[in-house]
Amino acid sequence: MGHKYASILETVGRTPVVRINRLAPEGINLFVKIEAFNPLGSVKDRLALGIIEAAEKSGALKPGQTVIEATSGNTGIGLAMVCAAKGYPLVVTMAESFSVERRKLMRFLGAKVILTPAALRATGMVSKTIELAKKHGWFWARQFENDANPDMHERTTGPEIVEAFKGERLDYWVTGYGTGGTLNGVARVLNRERPETRIVVCEPEDAPLLGSGEEQARNPDGTPSAGHPAWKPHPVQGWTPDFIPKITEDAVKTQKIDQVIPIPNAEAMRWSRELAVKEGIFVGISAGATFAGAMKIAADAPKGTTILVMLPDTGERYLSTPLFADIPADMTEEEQAISDSVG
C-alpha cells in the first residue's frame, strides 16, 4: 500500500467515510466524512490549497508575495501549511475570542497572527484585513467570497462523496457552514449527479442567519456592510460568522437546499462528546453540531435511510474551550479508587 507524496499538499482531501455503529438509530445507515484526516486537521485545508493554487494560476499571487486572511482559525492553519510548503509569508487576522491553541498553531507554522477586538466580531477582522492588504499590497485570500473555495469542493469533496455511495442510496447529506464553500461546492455536484439526495444545512440556534429569512446587507464589492441582525455570539467556532458569506448566499439562491436546522449549543457539545466516547471519533464542536442535525433527521427517518454527515475538524482545536471544561487533568475520585484497589 506504500504511497510516496511529493509534498504535504498532495495529502489534502480523500478523507474517509466511516459508518456510525453505536449511535445510529436502528435501521438507519449513518455515515460521517471525517475532515480531521486532512494534514492540518480540518476541511479548510482544501480551500486553503484551492485558493492559493488558483491565485498562482491566475497571476494574482506573485512569488514571495505575502498572503493575508481573516479567519477563526482553521482556514488560517490550512493557509499556514500551504504557505509554508510553497514559501509565501502569511499574515492572519483573528478576533481575540477564538481559542488560543489556534493562534499558537498558526505561529508555530510560521504565520504572523494579528488579533482584533472580540467586540468587533468577524466583520472587524475582515475590515482589518482589507486595510492591511491595501496598505502593503498583500494578496487577500477572501475565503468568504472567492470562487476558488467552492470550486475546490466541487472538484474534490463532491466527487469523493459520489464515489463513496456509487450504486447505493444517499438520502440525506448534512453540513454546517462557515464560508459556505463545502455547502456550495458539494451541493453543485449532488444536485447534478444525485438529485434525490436531500441537502440539510445546520446553523447555531443562537445565530439562525439562514433560518431568519433576513437578507445580508452588502457593499458593492460583495463584502458585508454590517453584521447580520439575527446573529448572536455562540461557541461553535468556525460556524456562521456575524454575516452571511457570499458563497453561502449564492448556494441558497442557486442550489437546491431542502432544510435548515437550528442546533442548540448544548447539543453540539453533547454529540461531539458522544462521538468520542461511543464511536472513538474525535472531532470538534462544529462536527458535534452537524451530527446533532443528522440525529434529528435520523429520529424521524424511515428504516433503510442513508445519511452522510460532514465532520469539519479535530477535537484538538478545542482543549481550551467549553468542550473540555469538565474534563479534569487530575485523577477523579473514581480513578483514585481504581488505583487504590491494588494497595
Q: Residue 317 is placed in which grid cell?
A: 482545536
Catalytic: 286?
yes
What is d(CA 215, CA 312) in angstroms, rounded to the nearest whole number? 26
Write out the DSSP string of 13-77.
S-PPEEE--SSSPTT-EEEEEEGGGSTTSBTHHHHHHHHHHHHHHHTSS-TTPPEEEE-SSHHHH
What size, in residues, is the chain?
343
Strand partners for 19: 31
**Set 33, 99, 286, 296: catalytic member:** 286
Catalytic pick from 33, 44, 246, 296? 44
CA-CA distance, 129 to 106, in Å (whole number)?
Answer: 16
Strands (DSSP E) contained in the chain are: 17-19, 29-34, 67-70, 90-95, 112-116, 139-140, 172-175, 198-204, 259-263, 306-311
Report d(CA 275, CA 100) in Å as an integer: 24
Phi-psi region of 92 (alpha: psi -120 to 50; beta: other; left: phi over 0): beta
Hey, what's the cell of 24?
445510529
What the block records as the C-alpha cell of 249 is 448566499
Dist. CA 96–CA 265, nearest whole Å: 20
Give the residue numbers marked as catalytic: 44, 286
